[in-house]
Amino acid sequence: MSTGYRREVGLFSATMLIAGCMIGSGIFVVPSEIVRTGHSGAFLLLTWAFTGLLTLVGVLAFGELAAMYPQAGGPYVYLKEAYGRRVAFLFGWTTFAIIECGSIAAVASAFGNVLGTLVPGFSDSHWLLPPLRIAEMHLGAFTLGPWALGLTSARAAGLLLAALLTWVNLQGIRLGSRVQSAVTLAKVAALAGLIVLGLTMTPPHAVASGPYLGGGPGLPLLGAFLVAQVGSLFATNGWNYLPYIGGEVRDPGRTLPLSLSLGVGLVVGLYLLANVAYLRVLGPTGIATAPAGRVATETLRVLLGSRAGGLMAGAILVSMIGYMNGAILSSPRIYQAMAADGLFFRAAERLDSRGVPAVALMIQALWTGCLALSGTYDQLLDFIIFAELLFFVLTVAGVFILRRKCPDHPRPYRTWGHPVTPALYILGCCAILGGLLVYRPSYTWPGLVLVLLGLPLYALVEKNKHTR
């Protein structure tokens, strides 16, 4: 039995992990919602630019923490050092129960649906077993459900992919990171190809460059800008996965902060160029009115005609595989770190002969499967957006706390622009959190409730620990 993780992830693999987890389906659909919210191309580009800047300054702070504590678990470790076990447990509980397992389940089922556009028969309406249907429940102003529990052909395809990627990552970090690098290169090439076509080919019809005049949420400009950040921040999420495997990165004091900056910089640049391409080909109105919000597909349809659907479906499938592999690879390291502290299933603490937290990987796969079969995870993910951003703020604020608590702790990398850059991240995120509380309460309060459900669970775990 191995006694520790193996440092087998270099700079290239670490950068590819970040880019592969960040580039998902969001960049292909989110711009439509942003334009419907803010009505103009300038609003679209400003939203993405602000998101990119906010993400980059957040990454600078994460780099210092990752270099200080190059251990498996990443933010769980940083939060424990800065705030104590309770806050770290709340992060880990939320990550396992909803954020990561729910995200993998959501992407897995979406994979099956997209696959159905290329291979007939895969659909969420094609039940392989009779479903168990449960009516929706109303809790005050909030609605949960309805539930349709069971196995569809789309869910089956996604679950098979999740099982395959779990098996790949059970073979060791080296194979998992190599698969991630290969898929990421394909994703970057596909997105770069879309950008090149959009920036160089001449649209067959004149593009209306004026503002989108259709309906929208009717929010004041600042409120619309803050709410729009939800979509763009979701599309740039995933950079936080690298610190999860901090215990397996070579030369972590250099590699972790450098790969964070390189990976995020690469993706932010690609995203900005992609939105410029969308505007050039479709204009604000074309982006806002793209069928089902599929802006990238509509861009290719205008430029290439009937070939667009298959090309875009293939690119989205590759993006989904990259995200799922990165999440499946990284997240169990959090649960293993929690188990080592006595805050998760004890068996999840063990590493197998390949240096892999195999039990944590299997537990993740089982809970992911349960969520996928429930068909209700999309609603839960909407609820958790607020809580996830809140944990990011707490983590970045940990830079200030740990500089005061542990001034002599080795810091191979120190946050560039401190204290201005981490303060800007905290202020920017707090503004978004405030905007969501005011303008999207149906997403925010349930998310906080889901997080706080971890408090009695933490008390129970600690009580059982002391009574053994």
Tell me phi and psi for residue 113, to 5 degrees: -70, -45
- Tell which wins on pLDDT, 357 or 219: 357
With beta carbons less than 8 A apart as the criterion, state whether 38 and 383 touch: no
- Expressed as residue numbers, the domain containing 144 is 11-119+139-148+158-467
- Residue 131 in domain: no
The 10s digit of each residue's pLDDT in 59-101 is 999 999 999 999 989 999 999 999 999 999 999 999 998 888 9
Over residues 309-338, mean pLDDT: 93
Q: Does residue 303 register a pLDDT over 50?
A: yes
pLDDT attached to residue 187: 92
List of long-range contacts for 164-169, beta carbons under 8 Å, 24+ apart = 165/321, 165/324, 165/325, 165/328, 166/328, 166/361, 166/362, 166/364, 166/365, 168/325, 169/325, 169/328, 169/329, 169/356, 169/361
User: How many domains is the chain built from?
Assistant: 1
* Mean pLDDT of the 257-267 span: 95
Are the C-beta atoms of 12 and 281 separated by less than 8 Å?
no
Mean of pLDDT values over 370-391: 77
pLDDT reported for residue 44: 95
Does residue 400 lie within any of the structural domains?
yes
Average pLDDT over residues 209-227: 75
CATH of the domain at 201: 1.20.1740.10
The answer to whether residue 5 sits within a structural domain is: no
**pLDDT of res. 323:** 92
Mean pLDDT of 447-457: 87
How far apart (Å, rounded) are the C-alpha atoms in residues 428 and 422?
Answer: 10
The crossing angle, in degrees rounded to 10, of helices 221-236 and 377-405 is: 90
Query: Which pLDDT band, with edges at 50, 70 and 90, does 380 fall under?
Result: low
Lowest model confidence (mean pLDDT) among 12-16, 316-320, 422-426:
316-320
Which range has the worst mean pLDDT, 140-149, 247-256, 382-391? Answer: 140-149
Rounded distance, CA 154 to CA 158, Å?
6
Asked if residue 128 is part of any domain, the answer here is no
Confidence class for position 2, pLDDT limits 50, 70, 90: very low
Q: Are strands 137-139 and 142-144 parallel, antiparallel or unpaired?
A: antiparallel
Q: What percent of the chain has pLDDT over 70?
A: 94
133 domain-assigned:
no
Predicted local distance difference test score (pLDDT) of residue 218: 63
How far is the C-alpha of 10 from the C-alpha of 243, rounded, in Å?
Answer: 13
Which of the two residues, 210 and 359, has the higher pLDDT score? Answer: 359
> Would you place residue 143 in the very low, low, confident or very high pLDDT band (cuts 50, 70, 90)?
low
Lowest mean pLDDT among 57-66, 170-179, 215-224: 215-224
Please state the rounded mean pLDDT for residues 405-418: 94
Give the residue, 79 or 139, on which the prediction is more confident. 79
pLDDT of residue 446: 76
Give the mean model confidence (pLDDT) for residues 443-466. 83
Is a pLDDT exceeding 60 seen at residue 414? yes
Residue 389 domain-assigned (yes or no): yes
Q: Compute the mean pLDDT over every residue in the chain, rounded to the nearest whole number.
A: 89
Q: Rounded to whole angstroms, what are the CA distances from 119 to 112, 128, 153, 155, 162? A: 10, 16, 11, 14, 19
For the residues 322-349, what does the mean pLDDT come to? 94
Alpha carbons 444 and 435: distance in angstroms, whole number: 10
| Residue 232 covered by a domain | yes
CA distances from 219 to 132, 215, 227, 435 (A): 40, 11, 9, 11
Q: What mean pLDDT do residues 211-236 have?
A: 78
Kindly report whether the peptide bond that precedes residue 419 is cis, defined as omega within 30 degrees of 0: yes
Quick check: is 372 in a domain?
A: yes
Residue 159 above 90 pLDDT? yes
Q: Whole-angstrom Cα distance, residue 57 to residue 393?
A: 12
Binned at pLDDT 50, 70 and 90, residue 1 comes out as very low
Please state the rounded mean pLDDT for residues 164-168. 97
pLDDT tens-digit profile of 25-47?
A: 789 889 998 999 888 999 999 99
Q: Is 238 left (phi over 0), alpha (psi -120 to 50) or beta?
A: left
On the question of pLDDT at 220 being above 80, the answer is no
For 189-210, what is the mean pLDDT?
Answer: 89
